[in-house]
Structure 1
Amino acid sequence: MYSGNFEIKKRSSFILACAGVGKRMQLDYPKQFFEYQGKPLFLSPLLCAEKSEYVQEIIIASQEEYVEYIIKLCQEEGVHKLKCVVVGGKERQDSIYAALKKVGEKMDYVIIQDAVRPFCKERYLREAYEVLQEGYAGAVVGVAVKDTVKQISEESLVQETLNRNILFAAHTPQAFPKDILREAYKKAYEDKFLGTDDSSLVERLGYSVKIIKGDYDNIKVTTPEDLKMLNR
């Protein structure tokens, strides 16, 4: 397969983190199943992966009670790359680790995507692939911080004003060579380390991770206010 003159030599597994509870959304069901334009939120990034030449298999991590529903919906929507739906854990990290164990041995890279970031773009997957091909241990989509950021104490006192010119907000997708990501997850559990994203697990081992400049519309639906952004 080709993208212009760029030959795809490596195979990638796409993990969709779809096991969140979403208490802050004030819904009586997980936020990834909230319907946007008549479809659940998680379906949008899923179809992005399905259509991408940079993805060869898809693994979804979700709650046990939604596994059959997800499989049925994938069949209805023509998602042929789905390998399996695994049952997630208490933390997001647990869910990704469960999915990581199912990644095919023929896969070279792993791409991780939040189910509640509905505006995943093909270029993110392409650019992540290209970064890994350059030899980096990770690729993270992110955007420059617009606001002035203050570091504060436990008493809410300002300790320092950080240089926003070197600050980026990390999004997904995030991509890594399979073996490096497995190593990072194994070490995190050995050290009882809980990261806020997948890249933090890789970074702490000293590997180089590169930022891909994303778009500000690549929002994560976390609170009811975020729903307003879906219709912009």
Structure 2
Amino acid sequence: MNKIKQPDPSHFWAVVPAAGIGQRMKGKRPKQYLEIRGKLLIEHTIERLLAFPLLEKIVVVLGQEDMCGPELAIMQHEKIVLAPGGRERAYSVLNGLHLLSTDYHVQKQDWVMVHDAARPCIRQCDLYQLTKLLSGHAVGGLLGVPVTDTIKRTSKQAIITDTLDRSVLWHAQTPQMFRFGLLIGALEKAMDEQVTITDEASAVEYAGFRPLMVEGHNDNMKVTQGADLALASLYIDQQAKQLGER
């Protein structure tokens, strides 16, 4: 394999918010601790990030009453550090960012990736593509895939009001990667002003910046429903076969 050259003089860090309880799964365990192909969901996800050599540290944000996560063998890796979760995702991400700032003196122009713990199928090629295309970018961006279905807008009474132009619509994914100082400022602004945000990009947009969309792959799915486990397992198997691991 050819040696990968770092595409940006800044350093790269990651935050994995994993403090959620997975309400949509309706299970006894948070979804990140469900098993796929002999490993926990979160183990698959963290392994993918650990395999990406540009990352210096990966902050895994766990629920404050989580007794399982800290005991996992993978959490003992030298690149992994743990942070306590907040009451919402944005607060959990902020906790991870504050830890990086305090303990590792991360610079404002450094890059930080935020990746969902429930996306275990992220490809290395997509991580490289994200860092390559954002190299030199002042703001940052995120992985996503173009919308292929016809999208309808409806009223609250489920009456169709119009059809959206799908040629300009994307499904947002993670990682979402931004300049460290910009992201922490955007999240703090949104929290201070009590604005509801659904991902890091929406906080950055609210702060007046315009992130770049980077095309990824459909198999970078988020496990949110019980049926998603089987599909994620299938994708992991297919990816392993493509890499010649099995």
TM-score (norm 2): 0.86
Contact in 2 for aligned 1:131/1:139 (Cα 8 Å):
no
Is the partner of 1:179 in helix, strand or coil? helix
Q: For 1:149-168, list aligned pairs within 5 A.
A: 149-168=151-170
**Alpha-carbon distance between aligned partners in 2 of 1:3 and 1:211, rounded to the nearest angstrom:** 26
**Alpha-carbon distance between aligned partners in 1 of 2:165 and 2:46, rounded to the nearest angstrom:** 36
1:129-163 residue CA offsets vs partner (Å, 9 max, x unmatched): 22332324122110111210011111111111001
**Does the alignment pair 1:71 with 2:70?**
yes
Coordinate RMSD, CA, aligned: 1.9
| 1:172–1:7 distance in 2 versus 1, CA, 3 Å | closer
Q: Which residue of 2 aligns with 1:204?
A: 206
Q: For 1:126-141, list aligned pairs within 5 A.
A: 126-141=128-143
Letter in 2 for 1:200: S
Contact in 2 for aligned 1:147/1:164 (Cα 8 Å):
yes
Alpha-carbon deviation of 1:6?
4.9
Q: Which residue of 1 aligns with 2:49?
A: 49
Alpha-carbon deviation of 1:99?
1.0
User: Greater share of strand residues, 1 or 2?
Assistant: 1
Q: For 1:188-199, list aligned pairs within 5 A.
A: 188-199=190-201
Judge which range, 29-38 or 124-133, deviates more: 124-133
Q: Which residue of 2 aligns with 1:92?
A: 89
Q: For 1:1-232, list aligned pairs within 5 A.
A: 3-4=3-4, 6=6, 9-66=9-66, 69-75=68-74, 79-82=77-80, 84-103=81-100, 104-107=104-107, 108-232=110-234
Letter in 2 for 1:80: E
Alpha-carbon deviation of 1:179?
0.5
The gaps in structure 1 that reach 5 residues or longer are none
**Alpha-carbon distance between aligned partners in 1 of 2:163 and 2:180, rounded to the nearest angstrom:** 37
Identical aligned residues as a percent? 29
Is the partner of 2:137 in helix, strand or coil? coil
1:99-146 residue CA offsets vs partner (Å, 9 max, x unmatched): 111113235111000000001122232222223323241221101112
Letter in 1 for 2:40: P
